[in-house]
Structure 1
């Protein structure tokens, strides 16, 4: 079955995570993605991190999923002509270089839109395409620091901490895919033709975290990191360890669910205490609530806690390891971990789940330049011309082979 985006053509000049993830998310739903790498310098994600049994980096296998790969020196005169042919027939171009790289290569947005006025260009950079910090180098961790995420992660008397995954790069990829679809919708509605989607890596986290700024400006409250508890403790919960060593995340998101949680851990006496009549009242006595939950959880096994919480319709979720994720019944039922024929490596499947046009994993990350020959042939190049481009070092074929 073809995907809902199977007519969408994307040229990816991105590297590492943020830009490539945006393309990968759309490729799950059928987008035709051509990833371009320099003939003598491939994406570092091919080699970063652990390798599968076939010697290929597992991170590349998932970031390169469903993509065709082309080895092309697009900064050369002849390479730029090939890029132009690709752009003229494309819907989207994705890049995540430092600001000015495209312009210095003679393929800035003005040139790209001259080639194809309907092209949507996603530009991902550390600090955005303008402003006093535009030219500074940045990586995901710098963005996590700038967004305030690191400031809110960790214990009050300890250092700020980064999360256990590349949060800034990953959320930027997600926001980049959203930006592309919004721009394409605007194009379809006749509101705008091709336009530039400009996103700084810190901005996705800034938007998704959201509440610290209105908390400060609207309520004069400045969130602080709070260890196993929420930075502002507006609802009861936190991270607790059972008597048999299982970590549980306990949470309640409303006055009603908070009452059920209190009744589970402390009975009617705790739940009916006037100090906890509303979330507002409760927030002023959150240390008492936290201690009550902690006392209950630490004195019972995980199964005992889960049984009591189930009776009260309260929430206590086990903190799963990767091994436990692989065997979790709900994750397996949802089909969230998938594979392709001939591959041992499994990856997370397409999200979200669409009822009529679900996403599909077609293949994992392919070798460098795996599709160079077929892509160039589709552009009208014969084998003699392709061989000449290879000889000149402007194009690479899979494995560096000659025609």
Structure 2
């Protein structure tokens, strides 16, 4: 299947991005770029490709359903980066690229003769996005790192789950996704700086541990000034009430978040218990936090007396913040998410009609889009992209036969 030329959509059209790396954190930076119109060229090992091509428990006609999420809107070339000829091909691509994304173990680029200083010598405008477990410097830099370890070592996993139970992992690779978002943010800042100050690129050093650590809100300052070590708090947050999950009569759980004083007064009205808002135990945010268990019990007793439809109707009528705990089936069916483009039905020659996540955030003038669901064949743009470097068909055939591409 021939890959399409880059589409003319989104605020990043015209930006050329070379993506080297595999699995989640690095490639998801490339996905963010591609979703908003950048020409993302994914470099894969010949005959192997990105392992995400084969990840995921479910298949459609033998094809993984994870790959089209990570690969959409990208083009694929193959290059053996352990071979000097493969390295040279990628260096030639980088001479006029805007961004390089890599998530190899620190030191790997240097081993291949593609250190930042060497790359900036051939393209001073290049922004180099480096994603790793622990960053490019520091005592742990040389360690391999995955999302689960970054979540654990950053302190994030410690506060997840319930007291007196082993801290569970999240059902997604949250550390990878967070790191990709921070790396994308850093890339955009570096591009902005480059284009304002004379056109020189720089290195964006994004670590999984630090990305998770950045999400810990007031944990550090609380520990610094009071010695308090935040602990797991189950389905709610310590001293924040009411903000928890509550059952309906059918046993369906709904999140109710009414910890702000004005919102709690609305919830009290919805419960036909307006006097609760004047109760000394619940009159303001601070005292509600001290009596959270009592308050949660009162709300749960009320909520489970009502069918879900009636419970929702009361909460909506009183403008209380709430939300059901949706499964993915319920998300996909939700009319609001459909109207917002959060889930989209795409026609694809390999998958037929397939429902995929949309492109976010929504931009009013230059929105992102999904042009296609990505390359099924490793190196399917070799002829197109390497041909633009001046390599003839015979040259490409020889390099392919020798395992270089």
C-alpha contact (below 8 Å) 1:34/1:68 kept by paired residues: yes
- Deviation string, structure 1 residues 96-127 (Cα, Å, up to 9, x no partner): 01111111111111111111111000111111
Partner SS for 1:25: helix
Aligned to 1:386: 396
Shift of 1:72: 0.8
| Corresponding residue to 1:106 among 108, 113, 117 | 113
| Corresponding residue to 1:156 among 136, 159, 163 | 163
> What does 1:7-46 align with in structure 2 at a 5 Å threshold?
7-46=14-53
| Corresponding residue to 1:286 among 292, 298, 302 | 292
**Cα gap change, 1:261 to 1:147, in 2 (>3 Å):** farther
In structure 1, how many angstroms separate the alpha carbons of the residues matched to 2:62 and 2:268?
Answer: 52
| Corresponding residue to 1:170 among 149, 159, 177 | 177
In structure 2, how many angstroms separate the alpha carbons of the residues matched to 1:314 and 1:281?
Answer: 20
> What does 1:307-346 align with in structure 2 at a 5 Å threshold?
307-342=313-348, 343-346=352-355
Matched, 1:115 2:122: yes
C-alpha contact (below 8 Å) 1:265/1:292 kept by paired residues: no
Partner SS for 2:66: helix
> What does 1:49-198 align with in structure 2 at a 5 Å threshold?
49-190=56-197, 193-198=200-205
Shift of 1:360: 0.5
| Corresponding residue to 2:257 among 251, 256, 263 | 251
Shift of 1:192: 6.7
Q: More displaced, 274-283 or 192-201?
A: 274-283
Aligned to 2:3: none
Q: More displaced, 338-347 or 23-32?
A: 338-347
C-alpha contact (below 8 Å) 1:129/1:198 kept by paired residues: yes
| Corresponding residue to 1:361 among 360, 364, 370 | 370
- Deviation string, structure 1 residues 259-313 (Cα, Å, up to 9, x no partner): 2223333612212112322212221221221111111112222112112212221
Shift of 1:160: 0.5
Partner SS for 1:172: helix
Q: More displaced, 169-178 or 69-78?
A: 69-78
Partner SS for 1:4: coil
C-alpha contact (below 8 Å) 1:339/1:345 kept by paired residues: yes
Matched, 1:215 2:222: yes
- Structure 2 segments unaligned to the other structure (5+ residues): 1-7
Shift of 1:211: 2.2
Shift of 1:338: 1.9
Matched, 1:241 2:251: no
- Moved runs in structure 1, 4+ residues, more than 3 A? 218-221
In structure 1, how many angstroms separate the alpha carbons of the residues matched to 2:246 and 2:257?
Answer: 11
Aligned to 1:400: none
TM-score, normalising length: structure 1? 0.94
In structure 2, how many angstroms separate the alpha carbons of the residues matched to 1:122 and 1:378?
Answer: 25
Shift of 1:176: 1.1
Shift of 1:315: 2.1
In structure 1, how many angstroms separate the alpha carbons of the residues matched to 2:101 and 2:83?
Answer: 19
Aligned to 2:5: none
C-alpha contact (below 8 Å) 1:74/1:82 kept by paired residues: no
